[in-house]
Amino acid sequence: MDWYQTLFELIDMRSFSNLWFWIVLAVVWSTTSHYVLGVPFDMVLRAKRHEGQYEADLEDLVRINTNRLLYIAQMSGLWLAGFACFFLTMLVLLGFVYGNEFAQALTLLGVPLSLVGLLSLSTARLIREEDARGERLRKRLMRHRLYTQIIGMISIFVTALWGMYQNLNVGPFGG
């Protein structure tokens, strides 16, 4: 059997009928909601329970990640926004105008993740402006995580609906 054919049977480009796509979707949203501005959420909970050194570690890590994120946005934010808009527009056109299922799957992953990226920038800016520490910082991070989880739930729901539609439309019963 040809290795090229074997590879494409293993990695089916019809994304919504492929188990690997759904595993990737679950891992992406699980990871995204666990790391709040690059900080593991268990660190936020530990700082809430024990304070002291855990609180100081949390504040240091948030400060480092916030400064890094805002620096990148300030130095190359317009270029990154331009490339992201170009890439997402290309995926939307390929997926929903030309009917490429792989591009549809990447669009349904990329658009919500870009919203989370914008939310992260906004949260980082607010943390720096407020000079948030202690309880205020933890509340800001928890709110950010809640909004990320809401975006993730809506994204997974829409992706599941679109995937079911595609599987019924293209599958053994559809055209």
Which pLDDT does position 132 carry in this prediction? 86
60: which residues sit within 8 A by CB, 6+ positions away? none
DSSP secondary structure letter of residue 11: S
* Mean pLDDT calculated for residue range 136-161: 95
Taking alpha carbons only, the member of 91, 88, 85 closest to residue 103 is: 91
Can you give the residue ranges of every domain in the chain?
51-164
CA distance 10 to 66: 40
pLDDT digits (tens, 9 = 90+) for 99-114: 888 999 999 999 999 9
Q: In this predicted model, what pLDDT tens digit does every residue of 127-148 receive, in sequence order?
A: 999 988 888 999 999 999 999 9
Q: What's this model's pTM, rounded to 2 decimal places?
A: 0.85
